[in-house]
């Protein structure tokens, strides 16, 4: 059995040396190739002409001071590729971006000194046009809250008789919520209302909210 263990260790050492990936392929710098495809999270559709950034920072850095080492664009099918010589004292990752997508969950780490096939996903934006209609008998004080809206602010306080708001949010998500609380003269909640809705990616829907 000990000969088997020795053979495995020798194989791992030679394999890592061959691809430059260090022990168990964790990376030790050197010539590095990265290729892949930028896609839309949820649908898997390609994101054409996404901006692809190669970023790095010193290993074990206490703060996230990233440096952009390479910047390029994916093609019309979302495909990209590049090569670089990695510094063994730095950590590297790919971060795509596109004006119609959110990239806060798109950072993808690179193993240096080897070939990488990385397919980051971007979250598509969507928009909802909310038409707030206050029907007779008119309420003078109300609180209308929005969950997960990026803008406008997540709530509106006061008398909204006929108000239109445009909200930005992440598309292709199961549900978004509009909540309403109506207050009486003693500033106590008199009744409440909740509306769930779904917004497709890169689309705008109209939602009429009556109270």
What is the 3 state secondary structure string of 90-102?
EEEEEEEEECCEE
Per-residue pLDDT reduced to its tens digit, 113-144: 999 999 999 999 999 888 888 877 666 667 77
Who contacts 57 (Cβ-Cβ below 8 Å, separation ≥6)?
64, 65, 66, 67, 90, 91
pLDDT tier for residue 19 given thresholds of 50, 70 and 90 = very low
User: Which pLDDT value is given to residue 203?
Assistant: 94
**β pairing state of 101-102 and 142-146:** unpaired
Determine if the pTM surpasses 0.85.
Answer: no
Q: What's the whole-number average pLDDT of the chain?
A: 82
Per-residue pLDDT reduced to its tens digit, 181-208: 766 655 666 667 777 888 899 999 998 8
Higher pLDDT, 180 or 109: 109
pLDDT score of 157 more than 80: no
């Amino acid at each position: 059995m000990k000969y088997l263990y020795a053979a495995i260790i020798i194989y791992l050492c030679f394999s890592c040396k061959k691809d430059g990936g260090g022990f168990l392929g964790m990376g030790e710098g050197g010539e590095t190739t990265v290729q892949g495809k930028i896609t839309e999270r949820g649908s898997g559709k390609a994101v054409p002409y996404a901006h692809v950034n190669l970023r790095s920072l010193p290993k074990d850095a206490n703060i996230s001071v990233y440096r952009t080492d390479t910047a390029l664009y994916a093609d019309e099918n979302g495909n990209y590729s590049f090569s670089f010589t990695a510094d063994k004292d730095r950590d590297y990752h790919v971060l795509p971006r596109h004006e119609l997508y959110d990239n806060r969950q798109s950072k993808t780490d690179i193993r240096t000194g080897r070939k990488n096939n990385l397919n980051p996903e971007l979250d598509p934006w969507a928009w909802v046009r909310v038409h707030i209609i206050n029907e007779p008998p008119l309420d003078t004080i109300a609180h209308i809250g929005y969950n997960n809206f990026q803008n406008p602010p997540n709530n509106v306080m006061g008398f909204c008789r006929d108000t239109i708001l445009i909200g930005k949010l992440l598309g292709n998500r199961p549900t978004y919520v509009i909540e309403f609380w109506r207050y009486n003269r003693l500033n106590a909640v008199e009744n409440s209302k909740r509306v769930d809705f779904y917004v497709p990616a890169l689309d705008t829907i109209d939602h009429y909210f009556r109270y």
